[in-house]
Amino acid sequence: MALGLAAVALVAVAGGAAEKPALMPWPSSIEVGQGELAVTPAFRVGVTGRGGAIVEKAAKRLEARLARQTGLALPDPVAPAAKPTLEVRCAGPGKPLPHLGMDESYALTVAPEGATLEAAEPWGVLRGMETFLQLVGPGSSSGFRVPAVSIRDQPRFPWRGLMLDSGRHFLSLDTIHRTLDGMAAVKLNTLHWHLTEDQGFRVESRRYPELHRLGSDGLFYTQAEIRDVIAYAAERGVRVYPEFDMPGHATSWFVSHPELATAPGPYRIERRWGVFDPTMDPTKEEVYRLLDGFLGEMAALFPDPFLHIGGDENEGKAWDASERVQAFKRRSGLATNHDLQAYFNRRLSKIVTGHGKQMMGWDEILHPDLPKDTVIHSWRGQESLGAAAKQGFRGVLSNGYYIDLVWPAGRHYATDPWDGGVDQLPEAERARILGGEATMWSEYVSDETIDSRIWPRAAAIAERFWSPREVKDVDDMYARLDGVSRWLEWQGLDHRAGYARMLQRLAGLRYHELRMLTDVVEPLENYQRGGTGRYTQQTPLNRLVDAARPESDAARAFSRQVDALLADPARRAGRETVRARLGEWAGLSVRLRPLLESRAALQEAVPLAAEASALAAAGLEALGFLEEGVPAPETWWSSRAPLLEREKRPATALEVAYRPAVRRLMEVAAGR
């Protein structure tokens, strides 16, 4: 079986001039054959074997999705093919629910006469169907086609997750369902559902109904809704497991149950973002009694064997301020707050285990006393997971996959769970690294913007978790990502259409010039946005920064053009392309000014547009010096260099994405 890299080369040869299929995750083995399978209105899926209801339903969905993707009216009731176009063979039904370690492998063979998808269990069928759909495209000899291929595929890691934070901003059921569709489309198999936070308690508790009644502003999921989500996810081969964050990040619990907190209260739902002091009191038995009752209820609601108890970011201030907690520590011989939290976690672990679940928590919970089936969820990094693995704990990596940090896809893609020395571990220890999770913390996302924050970048992360480690060429990933992004929109996601719609809301009838600007800016990375204004749960997320995409494709393309130019300055064609783009951008500020000044919501973009244009103008000047072949004078450099520093705390929270490329141009022009 050819591994990733070899397969990529193979495609390039066998595929000739044809576009490389926009598959993501890239399969572990792919061979491209001769010819193609035509996709016509007579297309039909045939199911054989004993896959059961999950396979049958998936086959129906595949026909409907193919109809949507191609415009063909499927299934055609009049002329169904005598023999199925895609034959699905599933050996057995497997367990009724998706589970850690399920068999997701499949083999897909496409030939001009027909396609065959084989798998041992329904999970493999589901993954293979996504591959099949990604392969369907407009053809050069018929309306739609699938290239002849032979694919054998299985995941590298069994735990490939996305975390959704419904606590900080409530996410509608529509959003949850849409996201599950997207996850399944790129073979993610685990939804980590962050359900309680300082800012909201989002799950119905029948045993303690004040928890959600008083802690959620009425924005919570009923148990029936959660069961629906779990069933919807299961049909798509996605596990769902909950997180109830404690002892910190728990203010919303204390609104109705102040007795759980270390300080007396009263408490209100937190509206700001950050790390706050309110913390559960680990010294009170009634805390464990309620947690036992509540987690028992949740353990029955969520069938997955894992239950996440958070455990992060407890700074211990509430404990330090409490006489009772201090006395308890002394009495119990607990020297530090970390020891006290370990005590809390051991108590919690007994409760969780008592309800038949395996406990999971963030790095902070790691302690030798915990049972070895505890799973460490790492926001700190691979070293942390490696250390845990050495102690016998399993781990899941999220460091490097925080998609709320608004990094480019390529940067997440470059992070591997085996980095940081993990690949040096003995096989038995390394195998304890189960995989990873992209985390979508929701301070700065709403139902309207979340698609553009998750997609398409999460597809690149999904490839990191699924494909062989050797599949890591960033340019190749980006070349496929664009096609996958469009395909994801056909699956019902809104990250592309929403962009135009939001810009039209901001700009009105003529939004094309605003779009030109927004195409080349990016939201500030990491959590710098918080420093550009006062944000709370109530702050509308309807500004230019919310419309802007995490990553500027135009700036990335421009950067490549600049690199090509600097590598070979004689190439006149490349120079003209660079000049044309800079010329457009240099004029933006003047062209946009009337619009920006006439709309309140756009006034903050006036300095941004001015900065973008000044930077482009300086780039044009640099190009002129390069063309003349004389180094730019020092006075030019000293007057233009300040443009290379971004304005501090820009109100827009946006950055001009072509700044680094212009910097390179200017530095070469000035001989620096």
Q: Phi-psi region for residue 110, left (φ > 0), alpha (ψ -120 to 50) or beta?
A: beta
> Nearest Cα to 194, choosing from 406, 391, 27, 443?
443
CA distances for 285 relative to 209, 251, 317, 375, angstroms: 20, 19, 21, 25
DSSP designation for 319: H
Cβ nearer to its own copies, comparing 39 with 188: 39
Q: Phi-psi region for residue 421, left (φ > 0), alpha (ψ -120 to 50) or beta?
A: left
Report the alpha-carbon distance of residue 307 to residue 244 in Å, rounded.
8
Kindly name the residue from 56, 225, 313, 429 that is annotated as catalytic: 313
Which x/- pattern, by CB under 8 A, does the window 139-178 give for its own copies?
A: xxxxx-------------------------x---------
State yes or no: residue 635 binds its own copies (CB under 8 A): no
CB of 444 to its own copies, least distance (A): 12
- Residue 595 half-sphere exposure toward CB, CA atoms < 13 A: 21
Cβ nearer to its own copies, comparing 273 with 306: 273
State yes or no: residue 232 binds its own copies (CB under 8 A): no
State yes or no: residue 580 binds its own copies (CB under 8 A): no
262, 537, 613, 652: which one contacts its own copies (CB under 8 A)? 537
Report the alpha-carbon distance of residue 480 to residue 20 in Å, rounded.
8
Cβ nearer to its own copies, comparing 34 with 140: 140
State yes or no: residue 218 binds its own copies (CB under 8 A): yes
35, 508, 531, 624: which one contacts its own copies (CB under 8 A)? 508
Report the alpha-carbon distance of residue 201 to residue 183 in Å, rounded.
25
State yes or no: residue 628 binds its own copies (CB under 8 A): no
CB of 42 to its own copies, least distance (A): 9
Report the alpha-carbon distance of residue 391 to residue 523 in Å, rounded.
40
State yes or no: residue 601 binds its own copies (CB under 8 A): yes
Identify whether the C-beta of residue 95 lies closer than 8 Å to the C-beta of residue 66.
no
Task: Please identify, among the stretches 374-382, 533-541, 583-591, 615-623, the one whose residues bind its own copies according to the rule CB under 8 A.
Answer: 533-541
> Which residues between 473 and 502 bind its own copies (CB under 8 A)?
482-483, 486, 489-490, 496-497, 500-502
CB of 85 to its own copies, least distance (A): 15
- The residues pairing with 149 across neighbouring beta strands, listed in sequence order, are 32, 110
CB of 145 to its own copies, least distance (A): 9
Strands 29-39 and 144-153: antiparallel
State yes or no: residue 468 binds its own copies (CB under 8 A): no
CB of 440 to its own copies, least distance (A): 17
CB of 476 to its own copies, least distance (A): 15
CB of 305 to its own copies, least distance (A): 35
509, 567, 570, 573: which one contacts its own copies (CB under 8 A)? 509
Tokens at 112, concatenated = 């001009």
Cβ nearer to its own copies, comparing 109 with 542: 542
Identify whether the C-beta of residue 510 lies closer than 8 Å to the C-beta of residue 595.
yes
> Nearest Cα to 120, choosing from 190, 179, 172, 49?
49
Report the alpha-carbon distance of residue 521 to residue 613 in Å, rounded.
12
State yes or no: residue 209 binds its own copies (CB under 8 A): no
> Nearest Cα to 200, choosing from 248, 253, 260?
253
The amino acid occupying position 236 is R
Report the alpha-carbon distance of residue 480 to residue 451 in Å, rounded.
19
Task: Please identify, among the stretches 300-308, 540-548, 579-587, 647-655, the one whose residues bind its own copies according to the rule CB under 8 A.
Answer: 540-548
Report the alpha-carbon distance of residue 177 to residue 179 in Å, rounded.
5
Cβ nearer to its own copies, comparing 299 with 605: 605
State yes or no: residue 583 binds its own copies (CB under 8 A): no
Identify whether the C-beta of residue 613 lies closer than 8 Å to the C-beta of residue 590.
yes
State yes or no: residue 560 binds its own copies (CB under 8 A): no
Identify whether the C-beta of residue 532 lies closer than 8 Å to the C-beta of residue 653.
yes
State yes or no: residue 16 binds its own copies (CB under 8 A): no
CB of 487 to its own copies, least distance (A): 10
CB of 36 to its own copies, least distance (A): 11
Asked if 313 is an active-site residue, the reply is yes
For 36, phi then psi, to 5°, come to: -155, 160
5, 14, 219, 644: which one contacts its own copies (CB under 8 A)? 219
State yes or no: residue 506 binds its own copies (CB under 8 A): yes
SS3 per residue for 14-57: HCCCCCCCCCCCCCCEEEEEEEEEEECCCCCEEEEECCCHHHHH
Task: Give the chain's radius of gyration (CA, Å).
Answer: 27
CB of 486 to its own copies, least distance (A): 5
Strands 144-153 and 106-111: antiparallel
State yes or no: residue 595 binds its own copies (CB under 8 A): no
Cβ nearer to its own copies, comparing 79 with 231: 79
> Nearest Cα to 307, choosing from 360, 250, 373?
360
Which x/- pattern, by CB under 8 A, does the window 46-85 give for its own copies?
A: ----------------------xxxxxx--xxxx------
Question: For helices 457-466 and 173-185, what crossing angle results, to 10°?
Answer: 50
Report the alpha-carbon distance of residue 83 to residue 43 in Å, rounded.
9
State yes or no: residue 458 binds its own copies (CB under 8 A): no
Cβ nearer to its own copies, comparing 137 with 400: 137
Coil, strand or helix at 278: coil
Cβ nearer to its own copies, comparing 64 with 327: 64
546, 551, 604, 611: which one contacts its own copies (CB under 8 A)? 546
Is the Cα dihedral 246, 248, 249, 255 positive or negative?
Answer: positive
Cβ nearer to its own copies, comparing 10 with 42: 42
The amino acid occupying position 260 is L
Cβ nearer to its own copies, comparing 75 with 395: 75
Which H helix or E strand runs over 285? helix 285-301
Identify whether the C-beta of residue 127 lies closer than 8 Å to the C-beta of residue 153.
yes
Cβ nearer to its own copies, comparing 421 with 508: 508
Which x/- pattern, by CB under 8 A, does the window 419-448 give for its own copies?
A: ---------------------------x-x
State yes or no: residue 652 binds its own copies (CB under 8 A): no
State yes or no: residue 561 binds its own copies (CB under 8 A): no
Is the Cα dihedral 89, 94, 100, 101 positive or negative?
Answer: negative
State yes or no: residue 538 binds its own copies (CB under 8 A): yes
Determine whether 78 is exposed, middle or buried from the number of CB atoms within 10 Å of its CB (0-12, 13-18, 19+). Answer: exposed
State yes or no: residue 519 binds its own copies (CB under 8 A): no
How big is the site for its own copies, counted in residues (CB under 8 A)?
A: 52
CB of 504 to its own copies, least distance (A): 5
CB of 599 to its own copies, least distance (A): 5
Contact residues toward its own copies (CB under 8 A) are 19, 41, 68-73, 76-79, 137-143, 169, 217-219, 269, 271, 446, 448, 482-483, 486, 489-490, 496-497, 500-502, 504-506, 508-509, 537-538, 540-542, 546, 598-601
Please list the active-site residues: 313
